[in-house]
Amino acid sequence: MAQANRNTPLRRAKYGLMQHLPGELGLKYRRKLRKLYAPAAEAAFRKALANSKGKVCIDLGANLGQHTQTMAAHAAKVYAFEPDPWTAAELRTRLATVPNVEIVEAAAGIEDGTFPLYRTSSFDADPVEQSQSSSLISEKRNIDTESAVDVRVIDFPAFLEGLNADIAVIKMDIEGAEVPLLEALFDHPVKSRIGHLFVETHESRIPDLLARTDALRDRAAQMTQPHVNMDWK
């Protein structure tokens, strides 16, 4: 209860102002602000899924399938994108009895190809925990550029165009690669076929993406299709 009481409009306003401070201090308050908005994003996610019966959902950055399984309990079909070969294999094992999930062993991007996926230096010691941090973005602070595996990348707007269905919900947690993908998706006509889009942003780990992320937030706030929530955590 004490923790809930700390999530007040005044605190959100304070952190909203302090996130614009320069350097690490601003990034610190940006992280704090995202944590305050995370419960509302989770509630909106579950509400959107409740209306996805008979429809398609997509989990970008499925990792070990926690949210994939939640989607699968509601949707007719779920596409779970996971590029890391170790994680994708583990995901297949964990979701082997969930028939309406199709695992796509690839990253979602803006062009087809093969690109390095950077893992953390501790990946081999604890892949279950460390798999959550792998990224296509070499500037991400908690990855090791010497610990990379080549992975398949799919042109995601083109993938959406090829689906013979509207998409009820997309969850996007792709460790910094969300910025170029959203920039492309927001300019693409296929966005009108997406109902809800929930995005975790990573500018606190990749400060070079800060300005572009803020620009995307401004654009998202003006959009009615899809409904975009960039406070996923």
Residues 81-116 have pLDDT tens digits of 999 999 999 999 999 999 999 999 999 999 999 999
153 with 109: CB under 8 angstroms? yes
Tens-digit pLDDT profile for residues 46-71: 999 999 999 999 999 999 999 999 99
pLDDT at 60: 98
In order of their start, the domains of the chain are 2-229 (3.40.50)
pLDDT for the residue 181: 98
Please say if the pLDDT value at position 4 is more than 60. no
What predicted TM-score, i.e. pTM, was given to this entire model?
0.92
CA-wise closest residue to 138 among 231, 84, 208, 210: 208
DSSP class of residue 119 equals P
- H, E, C per residue of 174-189: CCCCHHHHHHHHHCCH
pLDDT at 5: 62
Per the prediction, the chain carries an average pLDDT of 92
C-alpha–C-alpha distance, residues 5 and 16, integer Å: 18
Strand partners, 204: none
> Of 11-15, 26-30, 140-144, which gets the smallest average pLDDT?
26-30
pLDDT interval class at 233 (50, 70, 90): confident
Cβ 137 vs Cβ 166: under 8 Å: no
Taking residues 150-158, report their average pLDDT.
98
3-state secondary structure of 79: strand
How much of the chain, in percent, has pLDDT values that exceed 70?
A: 98
Is the pLDDT at 206 greater than 80, yes or no? yes
